[in-house]
């Protein structure tokens, strides 16, 4: 199977519906999925580029088993390592945009600090004020750039790990197809991201612990969004593709 002959749908992601369906999907086994998501993210974050891929694939494998009505066990999380090579490739590709934006920005910030600092180690009030305003302005631009790039990366790559778990695509093929499907559903995905960000932010206000309890629901909503875009059983075009607006490829 290749990205060129896999169908995907457009106009089917509704943020609130995905969150509700995600909650309905896991509520009977909420604590199990909380453990799966928490451990998966914790292990993936321990060695981010290397382990985040198989952990994310493992998390989605658990969600897909639940969708099919199959029993889910905590150990299913580690079946993501069966896709280690391809998930690692996908993770590395996803890192490229962030590296492209972060490295130059950090270099500029470093040069700015070095060139703005006085040689004798002292600053008069005017110099300090100018330096502070310049640094604060650059930091704001830096922060906005990171947020924008993070949103774009998430929109384009949201379906990469689920595609590896669900369709057994290679890392490169999963990225290509995820970009196509993400681009075709960009507005709806951004809406879902903002909704989940709001939920996570509210959870974080509860001594930050609440964010962890929301995580299984947000991840489940992404799994639901994926299944809406890539219905189970939609494989190849045996005849001319369906009309635009409902399906795409």
pLDDT digits (tens, 9 = 90+) for 180-198: 999 999 999 999 999 999 9
HSE, CB side, 13 Å, CA atoms: give it for residue 168. Answer: 4
| Per-residue pLDDT at 224 | 97
Beta bridge partners of 248: 8
CA distances from 111 to 10, 89, 108, 120, 142 (A): 45, 33, 5, 18, 14
User: Is residue 242, in this structure, part of any structural domain at all?
Assistant: no
| Per-residue pLDDT at 3 | 58
Q: Domain containing 56: what range?
A: 3-235
User: Is residue 110, in this structure, part of any structural domain at all?
Assistant: yes
Sign of CA dihedral 4, 13, 55, 67: negative
Could you tell me which residues come within 8 angstroms of residue 11 by beta carbon, excluding any fewer than 6 positions away?
Answer: 185, 188, 245, 246
Q: Into how many domains does the chain fold?
A: 1
User: Is residue 247, in this structure, part of any structural domain at all?
Assistant: no
CA distances from 150 to 63, 79, 144, 156 (A): 24, 28, 10, 10
Instruction: Enumerate helices (H) and strands (E) in the chain, giving the number of each.
Output: 9, 2
* φ, ψ (nearest 5 deg) of residue 235: -120, -75
Asked if 169 contacts 86 with a C-beta cutoff of 8 angstroms, the reply is yes
The whole-model pTM stands at 0.83
User: Is residue 241, in this structure, part of any structural domain at all?
Assistant: no
| Per-residue pLDDT at 211 | 84
| Per-residue pLDDT at 130 | 73
Asked if 190 contacts 154 with a C-beta cutoff of 8 angstroms, the reply is no
Which is nearest to 97 in space by CA: 160, 47, 54?
Answer: 160
| Per-residue pLDDT at 49 | 84
In three-state form (DSSP H/G/I as H, E/B as E, the rest C), the secondary structure along 79-130 is: HHHHHHHHHHHHHHHHHHHHHHHHHHHHHHHHHHHHHHCCCCCCCCHHHHHH
User: Is residue 29, in this structure, part of any structural domain at all?
Assistant: yes
| Per-residue pLDDT at 127 | 64
Which residues in the chain land under pLDDT 70?
Answer: 1-5, 116-124, 126-128, 233-249
User: Is residue 141, in this structure, part of any structural domain at all?
Assistant: yes
User: Is residue 245, in this structure, part of any structural domain at all?
Assistant: no
Q: How far apart are CA 52 and CA 167, in angstroms?
A: 19
User: Is residue 246, in this structure, part of any structural domain at all?
Assistant: no
């Amino acid at each position: 199977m290749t990205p060129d002959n896999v169908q995907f749908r457009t106009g089917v992601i509704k943020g609130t519906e995905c969150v509700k369906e995600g909650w309905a999907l896991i509520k009977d086994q909420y604590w199990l999925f909380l453990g799966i998501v928490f451990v998966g993210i914790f292990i993936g974050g321990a060695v981010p580029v290397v382990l985040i891929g198989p952990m994310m694939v493992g998390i989605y494998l658990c969600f897909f088993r639940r969708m099919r009505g199959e029993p889910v066990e905590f150990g299913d999380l580690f079946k993501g390592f069966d896709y280690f090579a391809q998930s690692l490739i996908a993770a590395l590709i996803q890192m490229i945009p962030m590296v492209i934006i972060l490295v130059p920005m950090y270099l500029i910030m470093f040069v700015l600090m070095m060139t703005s600092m006085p040689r004798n180690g002292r600053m008069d009030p005017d110099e300090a004020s100018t330096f502070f305003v310049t640094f604060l302005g650059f930091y704001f631009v830096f922060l906005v750039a990171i947020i924008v790039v993070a949103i774009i990366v998430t929109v384009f790559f949201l379906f990469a790990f689920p595609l590896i778990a669900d369709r057994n695509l290679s890392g490169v093929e999963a990225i290509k197809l995820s970009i196509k499907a993400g681009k075709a559903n960009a507005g709806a995905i951004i809406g879902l991201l903002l909704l989940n960000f709001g939920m996570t932010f509210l959870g974080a206000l509860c001594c930050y612990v609440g964010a962890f309890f929301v995580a299984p629901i947000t991840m489940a909503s992404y799994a639901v969004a994926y299944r809406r875009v890539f219905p189970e059983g939609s494989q190849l075009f045996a005849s001319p593709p369906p009309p635009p607006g409902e399906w795409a490829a």
